[in-house]
Each structure stands twice: as C-alpha cells, then as structure tokens.
C-alpha cells in the first residue's frame, strides 16, 4: 500500500476553494463544481484545501481527490487512482499513483462510472488512514 499524501490545513470551508470556483463564469468550472460537490457528499469527514491551484478533498490530512478546469475540459483526479478498480476504463494517466477522468459536457454515460470511482476513492482513503494509524 502506498503512503498517504498528506496536506496540513484542510478544513470545512477553505476560502481559496470558494474563490477558485467563483473565478470566471465558465461552464468548465461549473462542471468541476458539480463533481466536487459529489466528492463532498461522501461523508462529514471530507475536508477541502487548495493544492497546486486545484480544489482538493481530504479525509483528515490525507488527500484523495481533486478537481481541475482547463480550456476544453474539467478533470476529477484521484491521488491513489492507480489502485482503484476501473471496470468502465475511464481513468487516464500513467503515473505511479495518480489517475484522472477527463470531463466534457454531454457525457452522461460517464456519470455512473465516476460516481463509483469517487465512492471507492473515499472508502480507500478511509481504509488507508486506519492502516496508517
């Protein structure tokens, strides 16, 4: 099991996260916000922080997911994505640990797969924190 990626300072209402979503009125950030809200809905122990200019979700200080906005797409990334089951084959990336899903408007078939990945990433980080204690 890979080590946790820890970020100190995560909280319930990070002003930097709110400012990131409010910066610019573009559909890509609204798409990212939709999925960040889904990440938040995983549990009352989900905290947020800005990391590398991206809204990042943690359980305690252990990062597990982030969202990003680019010119043509948004992304939902997972810090331990290489270890997540991906039966739909939607995860991208070739790094040692991280993976992401690219999002564009009008991809409803992707929603169920991404919901499952978010739920699994949340459960995974909770298991990792117990194992790390």
Structural domain boundaries of the chain? 15-128
Please tell me the CATH code under which domain 15-128 is placed: 3.90.1150.200
Given this model, what pLDDT does residue 59 score? 97
Query: Of 103, 105, 13, which is closest to residue 67 (Cα–Cα)?
Result: 103
How far apart are alpha carbons 30 and 36 in whole angstroms?
A: 10
Percent of all residues in the chain with a pLDDT value above 70, rounded to a whole number = 95
Q: Chain-wide mean pLDDT for the chain? A: 93
Q: How crowded is the C-beta side of 111, counted as CA atoms within 13 Å?
A: 8
* 128: confidence class by pLDDT, cuts 50, 70, 90: very high
Q: Please give the full DSSP string across 79-121, using - where no structure is assigned.
A: TTGGGS--TT---B--SSS-EEEEE-TT-HHHHHHHHHHHHHH
Given this model, what pLDDT does residue 64 score? 98
Given this model, what pLDDT does residue 3 score? 85
Residue 130, CA distances (Å) to 54, 123, 125, 126 in order:
26, 11, 9, 6
Given this model, what pLDDT does residue 26 score? 76
Given this model, what pLDDT does residue 99 score? 98
Q: What is the pLDDT of residues 63-97, one digit of tens each?
A: 999 999 998 899 999 999 999 999 999 999 999 99
How far apart are alpha carbons 38 and 14 in whole angstroms?
A: 17
* 1: confidence class by pLDDT, cuts 50, 70, 90: low
CB 70 within 8 A of CB 24: no
Indicate the DSSP class of residue 23: S
């Amino acid at each position: 099991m890979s080590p946790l990626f820890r970020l100190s300072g995560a909280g319930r209402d990070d002003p930097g996260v709110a400012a990131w979503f409010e910066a610019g009125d573009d559909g890509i950030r609204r798409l990212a916000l939709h999925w960040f809200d889904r990440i938040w809905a995983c549990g009352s122990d989900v905290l947020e922080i800005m990391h590398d200019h991206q809204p990042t979700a943690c359980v305690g200080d252990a990062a597990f997911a982030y969202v990003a906005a680019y010119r043509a797409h948004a992304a939902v990334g997972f810090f331990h994505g290489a270890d997540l089951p991906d039966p739909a084959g939607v995860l991208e990336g070739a790094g040692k640990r991280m993976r992401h899903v690219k999002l564009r408007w009008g991809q409803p078939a992707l929603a169920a797969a991404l919901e499952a990945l978010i739920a699994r990433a949340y459960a995974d980080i909770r298991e990792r924190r117990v194992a790390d204690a």
